[in-house]
Copies of this chain bind each other. A is one copy, B any other.
Amino acid sequence: MDLTAPTAALASAAADLVRLVPGKFVDPVLSGVLLTATAAGVGLAASDRERTATVSCGAVTHTDGQVLVPGKPLAETLRALTDPEVRLVVEGNRLAIRASGARFALPLLDHTLHPGVRLVSGPGGTVSGSAFATALATAASTAARDEALPVFTGVRIRSEGDRLVLRATDRYRMAIASLPWEPHGEIDVMVPATLLAEVGKQVSGVGQARLTAAANQFGVAWGRTAVATAVLDGSYLSETKLALSDVDTRVVVDAESLVAATRRVALYSDARGVVKVEVGDSELRLRATDHNAGEAEESLKATVSGGRTSPSYQSRYLLDALRPFSGEVELAIQPGMRATVVTAVEPGEVDLRYILMPMLPPKI
């Protein structure tokens, strides 16, 4: 194998690939990058058996070939280079990365041991890259990180007519994001949130992403990148089974103002981190108290209709619920220990609902 490529493009391809498939520490082959040089350019591929990714990059190929090299050292070396072009050439049992005055040589791994990459074919559709990124930013961060309950580490991605709906929960809150969808069939899969969080970062700048679902497989492709992953088993309660019929209090408030006030008041919250939201006639009053820290209260203007139910929330979860929104949000509050739903008063392309469970109030 022998090729010359633009350094920045190749470095970015290798970095994207390593972020999508960080690999398994136990097996160097599963942390390797498979480089394939052909007349069409260079293909980079990685697989840890559960997920696979490919990124292609323009290159001038002097000699075709395929090698497997350690992924992170390749990405770090390319990132550190400042020359506009870089040459990758096999020299004995090494892949040499050559720039002016410098030679870096990575050991070749046995590429016959590599599990290869999968292509997913099946029903799917397309979404706008920026809308998908917005929806994933909230959904992927709401899923649980605790591997003990794998089903909560996923985002459920489901097509519903001309909308694609993403749902994620860690059992204490749930995010539901709906975005425009151009369908070529129906999909309903549970996809690991950690991969989707990285996909969200990478698709934010691209026009379109193509989603595909097959038996136990899910794939996303955009630009020169394609990712496939095994899906998670099972599904959890959809939000339609959460009874939201008892909403008796509706509050419209500026999201940023409520975030800023919650941050300040939460400095004084108890060990549970609870902030009480007292609903008044035309204001919210946030309150927190703690034996050691002291006490805080802050009022902000709000438009209140219905009752005066005054719930308490984990301040961190309330901040998570508000973060995706800008401008005015509506809080639909139910009495007792029942969920609150946060929605935008004027939803954009991505329609987001955030369901938040209340906590027992602090002892004020």
Contacts and interface: CB of A to CB of B under 8 A. Distances in A.
A205 interface: no
Given A104-B268, A299-B101, A294 B94 contact: yes
A336 B19 CA distance: 44
Contacts of A73: 267-268, 293-294
Interface in A183-228: none
A264 B77 contact: yes
A143 to B, nearest CB: 29
Given A77-B267, A82-B260, A70 B293 contact: yes
A334 to B, nearest CB: 27
A222 to B, nearest CB: 30
A298 B103 contact: yes
A182 interface: no
B293 A102 contact: no
Contact of A298 (B102, B265, B299): B102
Nearest to A283: B101
A105 interface: yes
Interface in A85-121: 94, 101-107
Interface string A244-281: 00000000000000001101110110000000000000
A295 interface: yes
Of A94, A106, A268, A296, the most chain B CB neighbours within 10 A belong to A296
Contacts of A240: none
Given A101-B300, A299-B101, A300-B101, A264 B294 contact: no
A267 B80 contact: yes
A101 B296 contact: no
In the complex, the count of this chain's copies comes to 2
A320 interface: no
Interface string A72-85: 01001100111000
Nearest to A298: B102
A80 B296 contact: no
A295 B102 contact: no
Contact of A104 (B80, B102, B296): B296
A80 B264 contact: yes
Nearest to A287: B103
A297 interface: yes
Contact of A264 (B94, B102, B295): B102
Contacts of A299: 101-102
A105 B261 contact: no
A297 B94 CA distance: 14
A293 B77 CA distance: 11
Given A102-B261, A105-B295, 14 more contacts: A73-B268, A73-B294, A77-B296, A80-B263, A80-B264, A94-B294, A94-B295, A102-B265, A102-B296, A103-B296, A103-B298, A104-B294, A104-B296, A107-B293
Closest 4 CB pairs between A and B? A102-B298, A106-B294, A104-B296, A80-B264
Interface of A: 70, 73, 76-77, 80-82, 94, 101-107, 260-261, 263-265, 267-268, 292-300
16 contacts: A70-B292, A70-B293, A77-B267, A80-B260, A94-B295, A102-B261, A102-B296, A102-B297, A103-B297, A103-B298, A104-B267, A104-B294, A104-B295, A105-B295, A107-B293, A107-B294
